[in-house]
Amino acid sequence: MAGSRVGIIGGSGLLEALGVAGQAEPHVIETPFGPPSGPIFTMELDGVPVALLDRHGAGHMLGPTRVPYRANLFALKVLGVSHVLACGMVGSLREHIHPHHLVIPDQVIDRTYRRPCTFYDDLVVHVEMTEPFCETLRHVLSEVAQESSTGKVHSQATYICIEGPSLSTRAESRMYRTWGGDLIGMTVMPEARLAREAELHYALVAVPTDYDSWQPPLSTAPEAQNTAHFQNRRVAIANALGLLRRSLSRIASAPVQCHCDSVLALGIWSDRSRISNEVRTRLRPLIGKYLPPEVV
């Protein structure tokens, strides 16, 4: 971890929620995939170098389909990020996963269909996704949760990622339960897959705010539903960011013992002699250690 940063990807108001507004240095990064969601802010948080990114941009103006996931992960890689802790709101598909709880998912079912999902349009790369989240990071988050008063934290769950922006029908929500889904959300894919393609250690703390549509709400009054949702959201996000912050020093000091930072060693299937110098240069932050630009 020496000399590396931990990236934190969250929702709107991330700097304010962490209490570091005005203390961080903004970076506007140009990438081959366009601009990221917004400036990336770097600073030291509790003695650990971090890079903070608001997934939906200033004012929450980018819906889940329009989030520039490729630009976001590429920019974090350029800034020297090696580990990414993400936070995102979800609906619960299980009775035992209550709003206010936190969840560290270990599996994903990807139902998105309108999002660019790879960096490698100009060569063939197959990354291993059996375990879509970094097991090292998940273990650290689970350990820290057990040692602190974070509240109930579930250390395993399957996240169903839908395209959005509309929420599920009740029939869809019930179907996802039969698939083995425990959570439903709109942002973990292709974010987790791109993190793997960029050889970043990536884990998510999911924040359930309701029971999705499979379970009727406790109140049929829209005002009461909205009040409960925002109360759950406020408490759960505060708990999630507290868990992420308490995990930083452990992540910075713990040795990395997983394959996330070397998946491309076996993942590049294209004939390397046919990969152009332009592609090698454009994607250098991702593939430079395997395919350095040729000297001409």
Residue found under tokens 């240095």: 25
Domains of the chain: total: 1
Per the domain annotation, does 292 fall within a domain?
Answer: no
110 appears as a binding residue in the annotation: no
54 part of the active site:
no
212 part of the active site:
yes
Per the domain annotation, does 295 fall within a domain?
Answer: no
Per the domain annotation, does 293 fall within a domain?
Answer: no
Per the domain annotation, does 294 fall within a domain?
Answer: no
Lowest-pLDDT range, 10-19, 67-76, 202-211, 244-253? 10-19
Q: Is the pLDDT of residue 294 over 90?
A: no
100 appears as a binding residue in the annotation: no
pLDDT of residue 218: 65
Considering 106, 110, 182, 210, which one is annotated as catalytic? 210
Q: Is the pLDDT of residue 17 over 90?
A: no
Per the domain annotation, does 109 fall within a domain?
Answer: yes
Lowest-pLDDT range, 119-133, 138-152, 172-186, 262-276? 138-152
1 appears as a binding residue in the annotation: no
- The CATH number of the domain where 118 resides is what? 3.40.50.1580
pLDDT of residue 94: 98
Q: What is the mean pLDDT of the chain?
A: 92
Per the domain annotation, does 296 fall within a domain?
Answer: no
12 appears as a binding residue in the annotation: yes
129 appears as a binding residue in the annotation: no
211 appears as a binding residue in the annotation: yes
Q: Is the pLDDT of residue 235 over 90?
A: no
Percent of the chain predicted with pLDDT > 90: 80
pLDDT of residue 295: 65
Considering 106, 110, 182, 212, which one is annotated as catalytic? 212
174 appears as a binding residue in the annotation: no
Q: Is the pLDDT of residue 179 over 90?
A: yes
* pLDDT classification of 255: cutoffs 50, 70, 90: low
User: Mean per-residue pLDDT for 80-97?
Assistant: 96
Residues with Cβ < 8 Å from 31, sequence gap 6 or more?
70, 71, 74, 75, 78
Domain membership of residue 268 as a residue range: 5-287
* pLDDT classification of 101: cutoffs 50, 70, 90: very high
Per the domain annotation, does 12 fall within a domain?
Answer: yes
Q: What is the pTM of this model?
A: 0.94
Per the domain annotation, does 128 fall within a domain?
Answer: yes
pLDDT of residue 119: 98
187 appears as a binding residue in the annotation: yes
